Chain A
Amino acid sequence: MATTGRRPTDPDRWEREIFRAAPERDAPFSTMSGEPIKPLYTEADLPAGVGGDRDPIGLPGEYPYTRGVYGSMYRGRLWTMRQFAGYGTAAETNRRFRYLLDHGQTGLSTAFDMPSLMGLDSDHPRSEGEVGREGVAVDSLEDMETLFSGIPLDEVTVSMTINAPAAIMLAFYVVAAERQGVPADQLGGTIQTDILKEYIAQKEWCFPVDPAMRLVGDMIEWCSGQMPRWHPVSISGYHIREAGSTAAQELAFTLKDGLTYVEQAVARGLDVDDFAPRLSFFFNAHIDFFEEIAKYRAARRIWARELRETFGARKPESWRMRFHTQTAGVSLTAQQPLNNIVRTAIEALAGVLGGTQSLHTNSFDEALALPTENAVRVALRTQQIIAEETGVANTIDPLGGSYFVEALTDRMEEQAYEYFARIDQLGGMVQAVKQGFPQHEIADAAFRYQRELESGVRRMVGVNAYTEGDDLGPEILRIDPAFEVEQVRRVQRVRERRDSERAQRALVSLVDAARDPARNLMPLLIEAARADCTEGEMVSALQTVFGSYREAPVF
């Protein structure tokens, strides 16, 4: 045998003889979720079955979609750059929307204020001081019409981040579009509607879990018939992660929420292939680069397998997990805020290398307040730089086959299934949520992370390391309190001007229908929207049947 002077590739020997020859620096060498990371990954770490009949990696656009849901990915079309925006009144946000469209943004994403998220009208006593602060106030059909005035709803896709009262907002939106001359079946976009993650993490609710789940089912059912281009649910891990979960928890709880919606819709008698292609996902992009990429790849593979093998979906569109990504708000620091531009760029790159369909990049001033126009532009430009300058979109899934990324993808998948098993033991996700299981797991992880940060095990630049020289505080966006006064007047005017008998009739019919679990509430909500009933009135009407929700305050 000829000798080449090369020794066989043996990772164990390498580690013993070569790697251990020098000491390691003092660092945790684990992902931010605590997953230990080896010094080197090799072919031996690739999953079993690569290249075989049941190849876990495969090719883009083919089952199990580990490498991407579409055959052409960004060679065909770049991701949608979709910046989340909303503050003040509908007219104010409408101006921000047009600004973003003028600057090359390709889709809209609506942030609602806290009263809107909680189903309270702007003139409700509990809304005082909150109107238009963290998003736009939408109380009625009139507000929804103003929000999208001059924006062609048959051309732009719109995303709406609202959950507990999602069915009501969708009703406003459908009627607002109708008045623009755009029928419901031509509307493209997404409404979040993911109520399970509200109880788990975001905590904006109107009703108890079971009736809230019914409303989700009503929307899925109604949209599958009436809005073929619409995504009635965006199953969201974003808020779960922001609340402090690990990447694996984000993956596991989000997918389990999604599988629970599928289960429920199938139990209603819907054919899985009639609605599954319209489900979409929403993930966080946190700062641990490879962990995030592995999370997206594992998510696609699990979803494809569960839809095909557990639910028997036959259409490839049902197996494909398409998702939106937002960079991690929680990773931003109030200290040295310009550093946040760098964090956001790295996180956004993880989303892109993970194969996201759309992306929101946070603005550097968001640890201080809602973003200013300048900061928003830098955030959008960050995506444009990734798309146009870096070359990362030249080839599909450039990290596919990386020993490390594939091994981490597998590990993520394994951890997700471990959580699925624990949730199933509790009787499924709805039960687990009622018992506070995911809520508790997240609080534990958040506390652990905070401890690591404070003990200095984890370092955060500007916060517990390299703290000297804070940037000058950037200019921040102040919400004019006059918006609240104006909005309160607007909703009161709507109530004064409308045909009050028609509004009353619509609410009475809504309550009647709510009492019968077999009835779909969407058509009744649409009629109530047409009758100029306000969001708060519809929620209150439904609460007379459904009741309201209060979480047991545990920490």
Chain B
Amino acid sequence: MPPTTEKKIRVVVAKPGLDGHDRGAKIIARALRDAGMEVIYTGLHQTPEQIVETVIQEDADAVGLSILSGAHMTLVPRVLELLREQGADDVVVTLGGTIPSEDVKELKELGVAEVFTPGASTEQAVDFIRSAVRS
């Protein structure tokens, strides 16, 4: 049997914007870590620039954004744009929060891989990131 040398998935969990609701972000960060991923949590109140810088520095495979302030239509497109500018548009971008369904559609068109809304399980998030990064 070959040794399991598969590289660990590296995920940045980020809180863009001004809201301080970090319950979800912290739960997701723990669940991803428990699932064997390398997790970098940015902490609160990050600008899109700070987040993208962390993603690049940490050579992350995925970034999970958590926003509950209603500012997602401003912040998320900017993160996507900055990732593209940095040539890092292969990074899987997911979003969690209270996101109305019309916005989900628009954000996916812009390049967000998946949006997790209230009631989504950590298992769904873990499975999604694992398969999106490996594919």
Task: Kindly state the separation between the CA atoms of A438 and B98 in the bound complex, as whole angstroms.
Answer: 26
- Say yes or no: is A143 at the interface (Cβ < 8 Å to chain B): no
Against B, the Cβ 8 Å flags (1 = close, 0 = not) of A116-145 are 011010000011111001100000000000
A133 with B70: in contact, given A203-B20, A551-B43, A555-B29 (CB under 8 Å)?
A: yes
Inter-chain contact A447/B22, CB cutoff 8 Å: no
Bin the interface of chain A by size. 35 or more
Shortest Cβ gap from A344 to chain B (Å): 16
Against B, the Cβ 8 Å flags (1 = close, 0 = not) of A324-342 are 0000001001110000000
- Say yes or no: is A552 at the interface (Cβ < 8 Å to chain B): yes
Task: Kindly state the separation between the CA atoms of A217 and B73 in the bound complex, as whole angstroms.
Answer: 39
Please give, as numbers and ranges, the residues of chain B lying within 8 Å of A243 by CB-CB distance. Answer: 21-23
Please give, as numbers and ranges, the residues of chain B lying within 8 Å of A126 by CB-CB distance. Answer: 18, 47
Inter-chain contact A473/B119, CB cutoff 8 Å: no
Please give, as numbers and ranges, the residues of chain B lying within 8 Å of A232 by CB-CB distance. Answer: none
Inter-chain contact A129/B98, CB cutoff 8 Å: no
Task: Kindly state the separation between the CA atoms of A482 and B42 in the bound complex, as whole angstroms.
Answer: 31
Shortest Cβ gap from B57 to chain A (Å): 14
Inter-chain contact A114/B41, CB cutoff 8 Å: no
Against A, the Cβ 8 Å flags (1 = close, 0 = not) of B54-75 are 0000000000000001110111
Inter-chain contact A550/B70, CB cutoff 8 Å: no
- Say yes or no: is B101 at the interface (Cβ < 8 Å to chain A): yes
- Say yes or no: is A386 at the interface (Cβ < 8 Å to chain B): no
Please give, as numbers and ranges, the residues of chain A lying within 8 Å of B45 by CB-CB distance. Answer: 118
- Say yes or no: is B86 at the interface (Cβ < 8 Å to chain A): no
Indicate which residue in B30, B69, B117, B121 contacts A134 across the interface (CB closer than 8 Å). Answer: B69
Indicate which residue in A133, A202, A334, A555 contacts B117 across the interface (CB closer than 8 Å). Answer: A334
A202 with B74: in contact, given A334-B117, A550-B43 (CB under 8 Å)?
A: no
A117 with B44: in contact, given A367-B98, A368-B98 (CB under 8 Å)?
A: no
Indicate which residue in B13, B44, B71 contacts A133 across the interface (CB closer than 8 Å). Answer: B71
**Chain B residue at minimum C-beta to C-beta distance from A203:** B20
A367 with B74: in contact, given A126-B18, A551-B43 (CB under 8 Å)?
A: no
Please give, as numbers and ranges, the residues of chain A lying within 8 Å of B27 by CB-CB distance. Answer: 244, 446-447, 450
- Give the 5 A-B residue pairs with the shortest CB-CB distance, closest first: A129-B74, A203-B20, A553-B43, A133-B70, A114-B18
Interface residues of A (CB under 8 A from B): 114-115, 117-118, 120, 126-130, 133-134, 198, 201-204, 242-244, 330, 333-335, 367-370, 443, 446-447, 450, 454, 462-463, 473, 476, 478-479, 550-555
Task: List 6 contacting pairs A-B, 8 Å CB cutoff, sorted by A.
Answer: A130-B18, A201-B20, A202-B20, A368-B98, A369-B98, A555-B33
Interface residues of B (CB under 8 A from A): 13, 17-23, 25-27, 29-31, 33, 39, 41-45, 47, 69-71, 73-75, 98, 100-101, 117-119, 121-123
